[in-house]
Amino acid sequence: MFTGLIEHIATLTSRIPKDTDGGFTLTFSSASPILEDCHVGDSIAVNGACLTVTEFDADSFKVGLAPETLERTNLGDLVVGDRVNCERALAAHTRFGGHFVQGHVDTTATILSLFPDSNSLRLTFQLPSSTPLTLSLLPSLIPKGYVTIDGASLTLTNVDDKAQTFSIMLIAHSQEKLVLSSKKVGDKVNVEVDSVGKFVEKAVRRGMEEIMVGGGNGGALEGMVERVVERVLREKGVLPK
C-alpha cells in the first residue's frame, strides 16, 4: 500500500531483456534516499507500479518487469536516462497523506494538453477511447476526487465522460517534485483510479443487479414495490378490491 506522496526521483541506468518470459530487468540509480532501510523483497512504487526489489546497493536497486506490467504501464517505454517517481511502501508508523494507492496501475493515458496557469501547470489526459476498461474506470473519476498519475496522488479538476478525458493541476511545489512536469503532449502516464471508488461502484452495481433479477435483498425490495403498486391500482379501481 502507498500514499501517492512521491519520496524521490530516480534514474533508469540499465534495461536488460529477460530470456524467459519476455520481461525486463531494470536498474534505477541515484536512489540512495529511499534505500536506507531497503531489503530484498521490499516493494517500491515506480511511476505508480508496485515492483519488488530483487537486488540493491547503497545507490541503486533492481526490479523485474513481467509481461502484465508491460501491458498495463508505461514502464516498457522507458529508456536509459529517464527519470521516475519513487515511493516506498507505507509503513505502519508513517503519517498518512495523499490517498490509498495500491500500486496496481489500471491503464495508461496520453497527455492531451499542457499549459501554464500563473505558477501552476494544467494538464488534460485522454484515456484509451471507448474500451471496456475505460468505460469501467470512468465512474471512479469525479471532479475533486483522487487519481494517481505516475504514482502521484493528485486532485481531479475536470472529468469529461463523453470525451473520456480528465484534467489535473500541478502547483509549483509538485512541479519540482514530480517527473510529470517534464513530460510533453503525446507522452503516456500510468493511471490508477481511487480504489475506494471502485469498491463502492461495484457494491452499488451488485445491489442494482439483485434488484433487477429479484434475487437476494433485491427480491424483498421488489416484493415491496409490487405490493405498493397493487394497493394503488386497487384504490384507483384498476384492480378489483
- Would residue 163 show up in a list of annotated catalytic residues for this protein? no
- Spatial distance between the Cα atoms of 24 and 67, rounded to a whole number of angstroms: 9
**Helix or strand run (H / E) with residue 9:** strand 8-17
- Spatial distance between the Cα atoms of 180 and 148, rounded to a whole number of angstroms: 12
Q: Which of 11, 29, 32, 43 is catalytic?
A: 43
- Would residue 93 show up in a list of annotated catalytic residues for this protein? no
Q: Which of 104, 131, 182, 199 is catalytic?
A: 104
Q: Which of 50, 86, 109, 152 is catalytic?
A: 50
- Would residue 43 show up in a list of annotated catalytic residues for this protein? yes
DSSP 8-state symbol, 156: E
Q: Which of 30, 52, 120, 131 is catalytic?
A: 52
- Would residue 140 show up in a list of annotated catalytic residues for this protein? no
Q: Which of 38, 66, 157, 174 is catalytic?
A: 66
Angle at which helices 216-235 and 195-213 pack, to 10 degrees?
A: 50
**Cα separations (Å) of 107 from 103, 131, 225?**
12, 11, 41
- Would residue 52 show up in a list of annotated catalytic residues for this protein? yes
**Tell me, what amino acid is at 44?**
I
Q: Which of 120, 155, 163, 220 is catalytic?
A: 155
User: Which residue in 119, 180, 116 sits closest to 147, CA to CA?
Assistant: 180
C-alpha cell at position 18: 529477460
- Unique residue bearing C-alpha cell 506522496: 5
DSSP 8-state symbol, 98: S
- Spatial distance between the Cα atoms of 29 and 11, rounded to a whole number of angstroms: 5
Residues designated as active site? 2, 43, 50, 52, 66, 104, 155
